[in-house]
Chain A
């Protein structure tokens, strides 16, 4: 089970120049984040407030949700509750059937990815057009997004050009991003003006006012939501914040952490439907209430989906989003997904060096690397690790608890590496892959210490 991420990552890194490009590009985004963060002397205080507001929200969540429902209903918005992905998809499907809706546009929503809404609707003969440029690109290619903020970051412009040539009849070989974006603009403007239903995500839902905020740079959420006669906004219940004034803290943190921008181009605040428009909100649990009950993991629900942890992660940058085989990849995904399905996602908490960089950049101070380490312990005790890992861990346990044998093995290892280097420098040794083994030292630190301590005396 635990080899899934490694096996998928191996495919990704087979193309070395592309892997390097992916690594450097995401690091560049991380650097932009640093620059934006350093521009505000109060940055660390903002992170602390962001964290505290989210802690306070989670501690009184049932009441805030009731308050939100009451206020939103009074605003003329219809609230739906879904226990899991299936219920979420059925609720959306019911609304579509009720109005005989044909034309659907959707802006970015990781929740609908998590629930596999597109596949569900497609299965029922209903087509959804993703309108975020990156999402449209991957939708054409029948791929999932590889990053929650930059869905097509695994692709090069040549790939996009080929995809658009096939689906939008753009000039073959024209790789100019300006030209390709313009083609998507024309194509999607037609989809917007014809749409019967707009589905959007939710960045923040405000308990105090019963409204919600959607952030985009492209304007695609607004183009759909203000055109279609029906708007459905889908949210995990953890998107809630208590008051409108808290938006200032989160909007200041979000875009700076995500891409280094001071704010997204559009931060749209929805409170009431337009005249003759219907507005629905689907509030989804899908394992979140269970995660809330896991003390060690509950604060993963503070996440505002900025993806700063992706961009900084040495493993994500060099393995690509698809190697995480889930809707939300990266470090945060690796602590959210085992909660949804521990067996299927048992490999993910191991796809980390535990370096802690994710925790350091998280705008709401989630202790991501500590949770990864804690998940490993849960997964091992539940028996979800591969046999080979279990055996090698048992072996190490034995070795490290028997100093004499440890010393003997160390000696044998050093000697054999000196005399028979081919014994470690071969393809059966995974540590030899893509790297040189270090020159073995002549003696162990212990031997050196005993010798030198003696000579000092």
Chain B
């Protein structure tokens, strides 16, 4: 008998009597008076930064300025200008030199400062992780209270990959001292468009 059949047979024999999956009642979950204020507070407490902007013009200017100063800046957002489609084909050693990446997020979560990003929004799965500095852009109307609402809006298996990203990469593995910038982005700046 193969390992698969053996394992499944023993499990079927040993598992307890069938129990129904509970219904998760999302009406009992916390609701914030001001989801943006909560999102900002939490995100700043975990090392991120937020900026509320009225339209994309500030962002466009910022992107242009970044591109002009000569460092490797990647834009994946069509609303901001030309999209750097070529990053889809770049190797990790090439992407390692990315200084800053502009990436659009789908949903922001007030309770934990996380932002859902689909693979298509990253263009290359490595982009939001390998860049030195990450700029995420979401719309204010897309900030929800909790993860429950976020999972209602996101279809996790729609694309091959997707992630909740909450602030910059960090570690406290040396004597519990918090250090921002472990392996991923050293900073996370979130622009929230009103």
Contacts and interface: CB of A to CB of B under 8 A. Distances in A.
B22 interface: yes
A33 B8 CA distance: 37
A56 B157 contact: no
A151 B173 contact: yes
A226 interface: yes
22 contacts: A58-B15, A59-B15, A83-B7, A177-B175, A218-B169, A218-B182, A219-B182, A219-B185, A226-B130, A226-B161, A247-B156, A248-B24, A262-B113, A265-B184, A266-B163, A267-B166, A271-B157, A271-B161, A285-B7, A289-B14, A293-B10, A298-B16
9 smallest CB-CB distances across A and B, nearest first, come from: A219-B184, A272-B160, A293-B14, A262-B112, A218-B182, A134-B173, A209-B157, A263-B112, A81-B4
A49 B22 CA distance: 7
Given A62-B8, A189-B183, A267-B166, 20 more contacts: A29-B176, A45-B28, A52-B19, A61-B11, A83-B7, A155-B175, A177-B174, A181-B182, A206-B157, A217-B171, A218-B170, A223-B184, A244-B157, A245-B152, A266-B129, A266-B164, A269-B156, A274-B125, A274-B160, A292-B14
B157 A58 contact: no
B124 to A, nearest CB: 8
B146 A252 contact: yes
B190 interface: no
A299 B159 CA distance: 34
A60 B15 contact: yes
A193 interface: yes
A315 interface: no
Interface string A262-294: 111111111111100000000101000110110
B97 to A, nearest CB: 10
B165 A265 contact: yes
Interface string B113-135: 11000000000111001100000
A74 B92 CA distance: 28
A66 B173 CA distance: 38
Given A237-B11, A244-B151, A223 B46 contact: no
Most buried by A among B17, B129, B159: B129
Nearest to A298: B16
A269 B163 contact: yes
A307 interface: no
A81 B169 contact: no
B193 interface: no
A178 B179 contact: yes
A55 B6 contact: no
B3 A83 contact: yes
With most chain A CB atoms within 10 A of its CB, the pick from B14, B125, B177 is: B14
A59 B21 CA distance: 10
A61 B174 CA distance: 39
A248 B150 contact: yes
Contacts of B3: 81-83, 87, 285
B175 A62 contact: no
Nearest to B48: A265
B46 A133 contact: no
B167 A152 contact: no
A73 interface: no
Contacts of B65: none
A65 interface: yes
Given A185-B183, A188-B183, A285-B7, A193 B156 contact: no
B15 A177 contact: no
A247 B13 CA distance: 27
A267 B29 CA distance: 21
Nearest to B182: A218
A211 interface: yes
Contacts of A180: 174
A271 B177 CA distance: 34
A243 interface: yes
Nearest to B169: A219
Interface in B1-37: 2-4, 6-8, 10-22, 24, 28-30
A58 to B, nearest CB: 6
Nearest to B122: A226
B183 A177 contact: no
Nearest to B174: A177
A151 B175 CA distance: 11
B66 interface: no
A242 interface: yes
Contacts of B148: 245, 248-249
Nearest to B150: A248
A42 B164 contact: no
Nearest to A247: B151
A214 to B, nearest CB: 9
Contacts of A151: 173
Contacts of A211: 156-157
Interface string A227-253: 100000000010000111111110110
A23 interface: no
B114 A263 contact: yes
Contacts of A247: 147, 151, 156
A110 B17 CA distance: 29
Contacts of A194: 93
Given A248-B150, A265-B167, A185 B173 contact: no
A41 B30 contact: yes
A41 B145 CA distance: 14
Nearest to A215: B164
Contacts of B167: 265
Contacts of B130: 223, 226
